[in-house]
Amino acid sequence: MASTTESTYDASSITALEGLEHVRKRPGMYIGSTGIGGLHHLVYEVVDNSVDEAMAGHCSRIIVTLLPDGGCEVVDDGRGIPVDKMADPKLKGMSAVEAVLSQLNTGGKFDGNGYKVSGGLHGVGVSVVNALSARMECEVDRDGTRHLITFTKGGKVEHKLKPVGDSPKGRTGTTIRFWPDPLVFETVEFRAQTLVERFQMMAFLNRGLEIQFRDKRPGHSAEPVVYRYAGGIIDFVKHLNSSREALFKQVIHFEQSEEDQEIEIALQWNTGYNADGIHSFANGINTIEGGMHVEGFKKALTNAVNRYARLAKALKDSEENLTGDDIREGVTCVISVRLRDPQFEGQTKGKLGNVSSRSLAEKATNDKLSQWLEEHPTEAKKIVAKAVQASRARMAARKAREATRRKSALEGAGMPDKLKDCQSSDPAESELFIVEGDSAGGSAIQARDPRTQAILPIRGKILNVERARIDQMLKNAEIQTLITAIGAGIGLEFDGDKARYHKVIIMCDADVDGSHIRILLLTFFFRQMRDLVDAERVYIAQPPLFSTVVGKEKVYLKDEHEKQAFLTANPDHKREFQRLKGLGEMDWEELGDTTMDADQRTLLRVTTEQAAIADEVFSTLMGENVEARKHFIQTNAHDVRFLDI
């Protein structure tokens, strides 16, 4: 229907946003979101610049401090941002420091002279941090003099760059302090554990680089956390495997370089069944979707192990070669490439596209791994024996799948009886609620929108897939039901494009049992339906813990934190708070209004920005190593949220 009001579209309709205005107008384009992830992204952008200095060989220490007043300080001992005037007439003779901190697409990473290798390629990093901060200060130590420049909200220069004194003897480097703008971000409270996980990974990838973290906020320990790894990615693999039983103690390590690029690979097998333990990086960026360097490594790994298996007579002439999946079962591997001109696919830099990296990875692995296998026959035979066992399990799993398919065909091939499917056949609008228990399932069925919302009640706790091979999983009734309902396969055969729902929502009670069921389901999705997690299609429902009445209206509060915020905003509130019961004991109307109605509910999206960290967390929490699990819980206790005691 045509609009009843006319609108003109002429030159007056065009708005030119100057400087950093566009960043503040559309922050999500630059940092992903204005939630906690985007907040942390500000820190990463600043630290990444210091890491680039380290990769160039000019920085050995980075100190990150969360300040008492909510700001963040990053100090490095690099060369320091240049302080002389810019020659470019478009930059009006401003200092290089001011240009770097206040102009998009300005930096020392474009011509290949300032940095041969760099993760921050687009020149938007620190200027974006400046745009989204209420205040920023930058100190530069160069040539014996300390210089200072300050900015106010939105990256506007407050005081131009000027000398403020002598640098401490022999010091060079850059210090940046910034205070995120609370008008931009949903929260300006940093989560320490998330930051240190990232810093630890950076230290692993930059052998010998020291990264210190201090939390000087009230109520936090100001004791520094220090990461420095002389072994680099060798130590990274040991760390990732620390909660697993190694097949043998030694970490295999090799590296190779050629003009404009170099590759370093470390790997070790464990006794587990995960076949997706490869973690790849390009110029320090986590390429979570892999790319050419991973393709080259996988191909050469398969060839090298099969070649050795034939030479060692571990495979008969009549037997087929071991598949890549068989060989990679239980492997933990870190691949790190550094190259002058990386080509990343997609805005997230999730996949490396340089063909030359594939040939380098393939050549290095074929040459160096083949030699290692020949020189270590005892360990090599263990690798082959494990792969043979994986091959037999794969055959058994295939038979189990075929038996399941035949059984379904004989029974009419329908969906599981307990699944109450939705009417829509469009996955983009369809949601699957996985609900704990038949009682809660009954309430959810009444509360749902039958057109787009499907309900699948599960009974009890599903199998811990961290400790089971796929052939064992396929014998578990609850897992069979999940696989059939989602309809996209499992494990290495899983195809996210075939999933019947684009939202899979875990809905459990907010108690200890509910939390356990939730982590079991998340482990299953991460290990066996990884595409769903990577596509950010897995969610956690957040039923409220409290309700109260304001006037005649019932108000629901998600957790204790939200309750306290409500009391702060409403100090005269006299009504009692009702502690809501489990999902199965909530009225179906209440469940629908608070937890299922798309217009009113709150969902927590499950993401894995750093796949290596997520891999380690799942292995620690769900694996066999009790001490590692205990240590993880104690270490992370200060950052626990949404705990129901």
The single residue of 509, 593, 615, 616 carrying the catalytic annotation is 509
Whether 509 is catalytic: yes
Contact 580, 544 (CB under 8 A): yes
Q: SS3 sequence, 279-341?
A: EEEECCEECCCCEHHHHHHHHHHHHHHHHHHHHCCCCCCCCCCCCHHHHHCCEEEEEEEEECC
3-state SS assignment for residue 582: coil
Q: Please state, in angstroms and rounded to a whole number, the distance separating the CA atoms of residues 462 and 467.
A: 12
- The span from the CA of 525 to the CA of 527, in Å, is 6
Identify the active-site residue in 52, 264, 436, 593. Answer: 436
- How far apart, in whole angstroms, are the C-alpha atoms of residue 195 and residue 605? 19
Pairing, β 331-339 against β 278-282: parallel
Q: List the catalytic residue out of 402, 495, 511, 589.
A: 511
User: Residue 285's CB: how many other CB atoms inside 10 A?
Assistant: 20
- Choosing from 513, 531, 534, 562, the catalytic residue is 513
Q: Facing residues of 548 across strands? A: 555
Handedness of CA 265, 267, 225, 48 (dihedral sign): positive
Pairing state of beta strands 261-269 and 252-258?
antiparallel
User: 425 vs 409, 428, 500, CA distance in Å?
Assistant: 21, 9, 8
The answer to whether 69 is a known catalytic residue is no
Which residues share a beta bridge with 462? none
**Distance between CA atoms of residues 266 and 153, nearest Å:** 45
| Whether 341 contacts 282, CB under 8 Å | no
CB distance 481 to 458 below 8 Å: yes
β pairing state of 538-541 and 603-605: antiparallel
In Å, how far are 86, 181, 476, 480, 566 from 184, measured between CA atoms?
31, 5, 47, 45, 21
Residue 587 annotated as catalytic: no
Token pair for residue 503? Answer: 């939202």
Beta carbons of 245 and 261 less than 8 angstroms apart: no
Q: Report which residue type is found at 134.
A: A
Edge-to-edge order in the sheet of strand 553-557: 553-557, 546-550, 578-579
Query: Is 560 one of the annotated active-site residues of the chain?
Result: no
First to last CA, the chain: 55
**For residue 264, what are the contacts with CB-CB under 8 A and spacing of at least 6?**
232, 233, 253, 254, 255, 335, 336, 337
One-letter identity of residue 581: K
Among 97, 182, 66, smallest CA distance to 133 is for 182
Is residue 200 within 8 Å of 643, Cβ to Cβ? no
Just list the catalytic residues: 436, 509, 511, 513
